A = this chain, B = another copy of it.
Amino acid sequence: MSQPTAKRPLTTLQRSTKKKVTVRLKNEVVYKGKIDNVDSYMNLIMTDAEELQDGRVIANYGRAILRGNNVLFIKLENEL
């Protein structure tokens, strides 16, 4: 039951750079794209992002910054 691979949440995010994620904000809007960077407030830079509302893409973002205090959760995709 050793945990050699367990990382703190922010460390895990910082190591997820270039990976695909799904971010849901408190206002229930969802962003899918790649994490470009993240800081200790969980502020995120996302690239090649889609904004979804009720499952439909309503906007595209080359690069966007999401403020961490509005993040509800971040799903890490494509973990192989």
User: What residues make up the interface of A, taking CB atoms closer than 8 Å to B?
Assistant: 1, 3, 6-10, 12-13, 17-18, 25-28, 31, 36-39, 42-45, 61-77, 79
Given contacts A18-B3, A37-B8, A43-B42, is CB(A65)–CB(B76) below 8 Å? yes
Contact B7 A37 (CB under 8 A): yes
Given contacts A27-B26, A43-B42, A76-B62, is CB(A6)–CB(B67) below 8 Å? no
Instruction: Report Cα–Cα, A27/B18, bound state, in Å.
Output: 29
Inter-chain contacts of A63 with B (CB < 8 A): 75-76, 79
Copies in the complex: 7
Inter-chain contacts of A3 with B (CB < 8 A): 17-18
